[in-house]
């Protein structure tokens, strides 16, 4: 009874704290401007199924994709067993789903094989990051916390899967010894293709075995709750957000840029022969919206969701032509910068009850050289396994720099001047543009 009460308290605290933090994250995402992406719903469901569930884009690189699939499916599917642990913990039962018989045996055996595959995948991932040191994990933005975060999650998964296997090994041995409530009238309950090989490492003393089984049982469930709450602080929040992110992702044509509504209205006004070009705005007219994005408030909410969904895998930076030529641009860093600024804004709101201007913006995180290095080739968008669009953020920051601060590079300013004066980006008048046709 006391054990069940303690379990319920721990479960309530873990789930409650996670819920509180997720609500903060959703609040932060909603700070963005509206984004109308409820069209073409059948395409969106298909996109989510293929990209989030099926991890279609990952398989452009088959080896890491297969390892990631083991880790992903293993960790998610194995945690189905958490349902049994929750029932057992609340009601004081043991293997409450055992009456499923052969189905239960198959599931436990399947879970064990997946757990072993997760451990193998995690070890290889750790070697790739820390021994082989793949270049895309060695970028400047991956120093410090991002690197530690990636390693910490690998340690988490390895320890949790190991605890699961040793818990089953101890349970299996206690069943063979027909000890206490571990004895089932129908014989051995559960399939143990992996943990059965670990039994030799465990003692034969029933009481000690029970302590090991109970210890790993508690360690497993508490570890999962800690992992659940760690997601809020980690890049691994993409485990949850990949699904809405791929559903609301931009659909083809991917290269089409959104027009600024404010600019479209001005152009329509200029083209209207009945409009008064000298008419002043009404007294109650709202303040004009900012052109482009200076801060996270100026981005669409889908851009902010993108930032939280970024896996920091670096595939976008790996294919970026600007980055490959040595320029400072890293699409991954752009996503991380937006997330860092958004977290800073969220803490500001938590502290003051509302956002109090702190004199900062996205431009305190991003270097202008990064923003102007982008070739708008869309390679980063095409490569991202969770359908993020760093290009959309870069374009919006550029629009702000050009249209609000007149801070475009000198080459672009010259082009703008030529278009305004000559109707072309070249520095000669429209009258001379067709002179080439008169040449023999």
The string of pLDDT tens digits covering residues 11-37 is 999 999 999 999 999 999 999 999 888
Say if residue 28 is exposed, middle or buried (CB neighbours under 10 Å; 0-12, 13-18, 19+): buried
Q: Is the pLDDT of residue 75 over 80?
A: no
Instruction: Please answer whether residues 293 and 400 qualify as being in contact, where contact means their C-beta atoms are separated by less than 8 angstroms.
Output: yes
Q: Is the pLDDT of residue 440 over 70?
A: no
- Match 């991380």 to its residue by tokens: 336
Q: Is the pLDDT of residue 430 over 70?
A: no
Domain 261-268+289-428, what architecture?
Orthogonal Bundle (1.10)
Predicted local confidence at residue 211, as pLDDT? 95
Mean pLDDT across 360-378: 93
Query: For 331, which DSSP code?
Result: H
Alpha-carbon distance 317 to 314, whole Å? 5
Any idea which of 109-113, 128-132, 251-255, 268-272 has the lowest mean pLDDT?
A: 268-272
Task: Give start and end residues of each alpha helix (H) in 285-409.
Answer: 301-309, 315-319, 321-324, 331-352, 368-373, 379-383, 390-403
What would the two tokens of residue 187 be?
A: 């014989």
Alpha-carbon distance 290 to 398, whole Å? 13
Q: Is the pLDDT of residue 225 over 90?
A: yes
Q: Is the pLDDT of residue 166 over 70?
A: yes
- Residue that wins the pLDDT comparison between 371 and 284: 371
Alpha-carbon distance 304 to 5, whole Å? 40
Tally helices (H) and strands (E) across the chain.
17, 0
Mean pLDDT across 314-340: 95
Contacts of 12 (CB under 8 A, 6+ apart): none
Alpha-carbon distance 404 to 168, whole Å? 63
Instruction: Please answer whether residues 357 and 346 qualify as being in contact, where contact means their C-beta atoms are separated by less than 8 angstroms.
Output: no
Any idea which of 60-74, 114-128, 168-182, 374-388 has the lowest mean pLDDT?
A: 60-74
- Output the CA–CA distances (angstroms, integers) from residue 59 to 24, 26, 363, 383, 439, in the order listed: 33, 30, 35, 11, 55
What stretch of H or E contains 123? helix 102-130
248-299, pLDDT tens digit by residue? Answer: 999 888 888 888 877 887 788 778 888 776 777 777 777 778 889 999 999 9
Instruction: Please answer whether residues 401 and 368 qualify as being in contact, where contact means their C-beta atoms are separated by less than 8 angstroms.
Output: yes
Alpha-carbon distance 140 to 205, whole Å? 53
What would the two tokens of residue 294 be?
A: 């200076």
Q: Using a pLDDT cut of 70, give the percent of the chain over it.
A: 97
User: Phi-psi bin for 144: left (phi > 0), alpha (psi -120 to 50), beta?
Assistant: left
Any idea which of 89-98, 192-201, 280-289, 303-312 has the lowest mean pLDDT?
A: 280-289
Mean pLDDT across 138-144: 92
Angle between helices 81-91 and 206-230 (to 10 degrees): 120
Alpha-carbon distance 425 to 415, whole Å? 5
H/E/C letters for each residue in 27-84?
HHHCCCECCCCCCCHHHHHHHHHHHHHCCHHHHHCHHHHHHHHHHHHHHHHHCCHHHH
Q: Is the pLDDT of residue 342 over 90?
A: yes
Q: Is the pLDDT of residue 196 over 80?
A: yes
Mean pLDDT across 141-168: 93
What would the two tokens of residue 413 be?
A: 């300013």
Q: Is the pLDDT of residue 373 over 70?
A: yes
Predicted local confidence at residue 433, as pLDDT? 66
Q: Is the pLDDT of residue 121 over 80?
A: yes
Average pLDDT, the chain: 90
């Amino acid at each position: 009874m006391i054990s069940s009460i303690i379990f319920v308290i721990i479960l309530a605290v873990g789930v409650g704290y996670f819920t509180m933090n997720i609500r903060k994250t959703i609040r932060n995402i909603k700070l963005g401007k509206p984004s109308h992406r409820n069209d073409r719903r059948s395409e969106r469901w298909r996109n989510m199924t293929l990209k989030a569930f099926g991890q279609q884009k990952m398989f452009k690189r088959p080896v890491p994709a297969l390892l990631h699939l083991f880790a992903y499916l293993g960790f998610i599917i194995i945690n189905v067993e958490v349902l049994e642990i929750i029932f057992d913990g609340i009601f004081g039962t043991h293997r409450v789903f055992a009456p499923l018989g052969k189905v239960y045996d198959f599931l436990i055996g399947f879970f064990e094989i997946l757990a072993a595959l997760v451990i193998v995948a995690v070890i290889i991932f750790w070697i790739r990051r820390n021994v082989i040191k793949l270049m895309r994990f060695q970028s400047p933005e991956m120093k410090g916390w991002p690197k530690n975060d990636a390693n910490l999650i690998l340690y988490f998964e390895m320890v949790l899967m190991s605890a699961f296997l040793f818990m089953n090994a101890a349970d299996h041995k206690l069943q063979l010894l027909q000890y206490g409530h571990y004895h089932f009238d129908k014989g051995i309950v559960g399939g143990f293709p992996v943990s059965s090989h670990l039994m030799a490492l465990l003692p034969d003393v029933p009481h000690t075995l029970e302590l090991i089984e109970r210890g790993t049982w508690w360690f497993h469930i508490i570890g999962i709750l800690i992992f659940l709450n760690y997601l809020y602080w980690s890049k691994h929040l993409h485990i949850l957000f990949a699904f809405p992110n791929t559903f609301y992702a931009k659909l083809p044509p991917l290269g089409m840029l959104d027009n600024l509504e404010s600019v479209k209205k001005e152009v329509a006004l200029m083209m209207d022969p009945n409009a008064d070009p000298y008419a002043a705005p009404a007294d109650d007219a709202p303040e004009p919206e900012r052109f482009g994005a200076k801060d996270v408030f100026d981005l669409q909410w889908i851009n902010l969701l993108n930032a939280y969904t970024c896996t920091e895998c670096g595939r976008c930076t790996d294919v970026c032509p600007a980055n490959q030529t040595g320029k400072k641009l890293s699409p991954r860093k752009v996503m991380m910068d937006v997330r860092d600024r958004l977290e800073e804004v969220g803490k500001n709101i938590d502290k003051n009850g509302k956002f109090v201007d702190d004199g900062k913006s996205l431009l305190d995180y991003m270097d202008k050289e990064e923003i102007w290095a982008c070739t708008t080739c869309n390679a980063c968008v095409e490569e991202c396994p969770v359908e993020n669009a760093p290009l959309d953020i870069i374009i919006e920051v550029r629009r702000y720099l050009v249209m609000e601060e007149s801070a475009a590079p000198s080459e672009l300013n010259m082009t703008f001047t030529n278009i305004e004066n000559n109707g072309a980006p070249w520095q000669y008048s429209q009258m001379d543009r067709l002179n080439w046709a008169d040449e023999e």
